[in-house]
Amino acid sequence: MASVFVNRVSALLERGRRTGASPSVPVDLEVYRSEAVYDGGGRLDYLYYDLVEREGGATYRVHKAVKLVALDFLPKETREQVTLIQRMQKALKGLYSAEVDFVYLVAGMFQPYQGLLQCYGVQGLGASLEMALRRAGEAAAALEGVLANFEQSRFVPLTMARAEWLRRGFSEMRFGVVGIGQPDARENARGMTGENARSAVVDEYTLQQNELVYRGMAKLREEFLAVVMAFRVRQ
């Protein structure tokens, strides 16, 4: 199964190199300024963005602060738990109830080789940097409480080298694909009903699609950034 994804990703990359063009998109977001801010120990404190958003004919000036932690260790027993998806669903519901805008990031760092980096984080938005930082700090406290439920997993601040790689990746990677929707995690393929809907053996394909893509990119040594941002639906 992994070889299928490797071949597919390789074909898409080759097609992108041949065309050398990207589709036109409306200019609904501009980044006036961005920077990475570090603490006294050289670890990432937060990422800052000074933005202008355009939507429905209106223009908004927004300041964004993003706080991240990196997954440093995940026990093998946790990775193999069949209830992991259900536990993560509960964690996300908890963050939703706490009005937290959640961020999940996976980076493939291969030049030089550092492997895959998984980050969990939050973002705070505000009319000023101070307001954005305050909201990001409150959200980070909620995230820390949620991650504490994953026993024996270890999360660490990002080093300057990793944070600078992320910053360069966001500013220098030429091609991007955006997906918008409301994900619904499931253990079986879409359309299965009746007795087949909940089989004792979890469908490996439906559970590990993202992992297979990441492994394919890693085998090709193609660097990438995959970002998931979860926003509350404003009523």
Alpha-carbon span 106 to 9, nearest angstrom: 17
Quote the pTM value: 0.74
Alpha-carbon span 79 to 183, nearest angstrom: 21
The whole-number pLDDT of residue 202 equals 47
The whole-number pLDDT of residue 184 equals 56
- Checking if the pLDDT of 196 tops 70, the result is no
Q: Which two tokens stand for residue 23?
A: 């589709």
The whole-number pLDDT of residue 6 equals 58
Instruction: Tell me the percentage of the chain whose pLDDT exceeds 70.
Output: 71
Looking from the CA of 94 toward its CB, the CA atoms found within 13 Å total 16
- Checking if the pLDDT of 51 tops 90, the result is yes
Cα angle, residue 186 at apex, residues 152 and 184 outer, rounded to 5°: 95
- Quote the strand ranges of 131-223, DSSP E: 154-156
The whole-number pLDDT of residue 180 equals 75
Q: How far, CA to CA in Å, does 220 sit from each of 9, 35, 90, 108, 181?
A: 9, 30, 35, 11, 29
Tens digits of residue pLDDT in 109-159: 988 888 889 999 999 999 999 999 999 999 999 999 888 877 778 899 999
